[in-house]
Structure formats: C-alpha cells, structure tokens
Amino acid sequence: MMRIVLPTDFSENAFNAIAYAVKLLEDTTCVFYLLHAYTPPMYRVDYTLGSPGELGLPDDYKYNTEAELEKTRKRIKAKFDFPKHEYVVHAAFNTLEDEINTMVNNENMDLVIMGTQGATGAKEILFGSHTVHVINKAIVPVLAVPSSTKSIPLRNILFPTDYEIDFSKKDLECLLELSKLGKSTVHIMHVSTPEGLTAQQKRNKSNLEKFMQDQPCQFHDLPDQELVEAINAFQQEVPVDLLAMVKNKHSFLERLFVEPVIRNIGLHCKVPFLVLPHTAN
C-alpha cells in the first residue's frame, strides 16, 4: 500500500494535480493524505503560545481549512470513486515543507504529488515557491505536476544523469514503481564530454545497468551540449511522459531553483517532473 501526501491550496492547479495522482494510481492500493498547511497572516497571541486548539480556544483557520479539505475529498470521491483508494484530510498550523516532513516521519509517507504553480498559475514559472521549498526539504520523492497535464500512461520516462552518483536501490525505488505502473520505457540520458567517463563514472553506469536489467530501458549518449538543450532536443524526438532527476548537491536542479523562470532557463517542461532524493552511501 502506498501512502501519498497531496498538498492543496484549494486552487484548480492543485486539484488538477490531485486528479492526476488519483488517476495515475487508479489500480494501486493507496491512502491519500489531503494536506493544507496554514500560517495566519497576522499571528494572534494564542498562536505565539502554540495553536489555539492546544490552548482550548477556537481555531477558525483550522475549522475553515478542514471544511475546505472535506469539500475537496468529496469532490474527488464524486469524480473518481476508485475502490482501492482511501482519503484522509489533514490541516496543520505549520509551513508546508515542515509539515510534509513531519508527516513523512510520523506516517511513513512514500511520495508527495503536488501542482507546480499554485493559485497564481503563472505560465512563466516552472516551479512555484511552495513547490521549490517542498522539493528542497523533502526526504521522499516529489512529483510536480503542471496544470495542463492529462493522465496518460507513462510510456516514456526520461532520466538524465551524469553518472556522478552511485545510485542505491532506494534512490530509484519510486522511479521503478512508477515505470511498472505504465509498463514504461526508462530512457537514461547522458551528455558526453570530450574527456569521456572517469573510472568512477564507468562503475556507476555499470551499477545502474544492473539495477535496470529487469526494466525496459534504453541508454542514450548525446553529444557535448548544455543539459537543458539535450532535454529539450530529446523531447522533440521521443514523447516524454515523465521527467525524473535525482536531487543532489551541485546538481542541475539547483539552477532551477535559483533561476525559476523558464525564459532564463529555457527548459520546456510540460510533463510531470519527479525529483528523487539521494541517499548518501
């Protein structure tokens, strides 16, 4: 059984991500936790001492949030009443990223699935601020879903790597599980450099090949170029349904967070983006 956090700010973008998650996992036994974390714009004295509920005082934010979460739960159930799915509503006075990690630790969550842009829906933003904070702090995989995404089989998953990481089974577990759902082909893409692979990179590639030996998989070595250009060019040749990358220090993902505007980065990503945490060996 999978345990999945579905954050929502009650926008249509958030609901679209929830609907995508539910349809993607239609045949998987899941408990979905519908989460809204709130911080009142102006703290009352009772909030500085802890949440009002802890002090036995009325907490209007919590009541209103729980009511909105229940509306979302009923809307999802009315639209997608899949028998293998269960829903839990969860409202918390906390930052979103901290509450997610609390839930991961307390409830043994497997995955976070959320919209990329939130209430603003700004087309020029690849990752909204909430998504950036969640990805930066997350200790489980995060699947960021653009608002325009339709639930289609994950036929092709693109996984760029520089072979600098010696992946563990835990690093790739979520990627492999999602690929099994859609009977997907995982396309492992590497941008070659004039120097070629180091001895360590060759070992890491060999280990990755072993991990993928039971999975439909293709390895691609592209000519020396910027990674963004390579990703965009690959998507022109192969209809990619999911882009997956591992988050590690000094990775390409850091640029996405420092420069989150598409026109500055040039990454044309209109498909769900899976960010996998790296478990240091």
DSSP calls for the chain = -EEEEEE--SSHHHHHHHHHHHHHTTTS-EEEEEEEEE--SS--HHHHTS-GGGGT---HHHHHHHHHHHHHHHHHHHH---TTEEEEEEEEES-HHHHHHHHHHHH---EEEEESSTTT--TTBSS-HHHHHHHHH-SS-EEEE-TT-------EEEEE--S-S---HHHHHHHHHHHHHTTPEEEEEEE--TT---HHHHHHHHHHHHHTTTS-EEEEEEPS--HHHHHHHHHHHS--SEEEEEE-TT-THHHHHHS-BHHHH-----S-EEEEEP---
Sign, CA dihedral 25-26-32-35, equals positive
Task: From 111, 126, 240, 237, select the one nearest 177 (Cα to Cα).
Answer: 111
Least confident among 107-116, 166-175, 196-205: 166-175
> Same CATH topology for 2-145 and 156-244?
yes
Torsion of CA 216, 219, 225, 228, to 10 degrees: 20
- Work out the mean pLDDT of the chain and round it to a whole number: 83
Instruction: Please state the rounded mean pLDDT for residues 194-214.
Output: 92
What per-residue confidence (pLDDT) applies to 99?
A: 95
Show the tokens assigned to 133: 């904070």
Quote the CA–CA distance of 74 and 6 in Å, as a whole number.
Answer: 15
Q: Which of the listed CATH numbers 3.40.190.10, 3.90.1150.10, 3.40.50.300, 3.40.50.620 matches domain 2-145?
A: 3.40.50.620
45 or 276, which is more confident?
A: 276
Residue 70 has pLDDT above 60, yes or no: yes
What per-residue confidence (pLDDT) applies to 121?
A: 44
Q: Could you give the C-alpha distances from 275 to 13, 53, 80, 106, 198, in angstroms and in order?
A: 19, 35, 26, 22, 25
**pLDDT tens for each residue of 97-139:** 999 999 999 999 999 999 986 544 444 445 667 787 888 888 9
What per-residue confidence (pLDDT) applies to 252?
A: 53
* Long-range contacts (CB closer than 8 Å, 24 or more residues apart) made by 258-266: 260/125, 260/126, 260/127, 260/132, 261/124, 261/125, 261/126, 262/124, 262/125, 262/126, 263/124, 265/126, 265/228, 266/228, 266/229, 266/232
Instruction: Please state the rounded mean pLDDT for residues 255-279.
Output: 63
CATH fold of the domain at 156-244: Rossmann fold (3.40.50)
Residue 188 has pLDDT above 90, yes or no: yes
Residue 244 has pLDDT above 80, yes or no: yes
Residue 274 has pLDDT above 60, yes or no: yes
30 or 249, which is more confident?
A: 30
> Which class for 196: exposed (0-12), middle (13-18), buried (19 or more C-beta within 10 A)?
exposed
Least confident among 52-66, 68-82, 238-252, 266-280: 52-66
What per-residue confidence (pLDDT) applies to 230?
A: 87
**pLDDT tens for each residue of 26-64:** 999 999 999 999 876 555 555 555 555 554 444 677 889
Show the tokens assigned to 223: 């000519």
Quote the CA–CA distance of 76 and 173 in Å, as a whole number.
Answer: 27
Least confident among 53-57, 59-63, 155-159, 217-221: 53-57
What per-residue confidence (pLDDT) applies to 59?
A: 66
> Domain segments of the chain: what residues?
2-145, 156-244
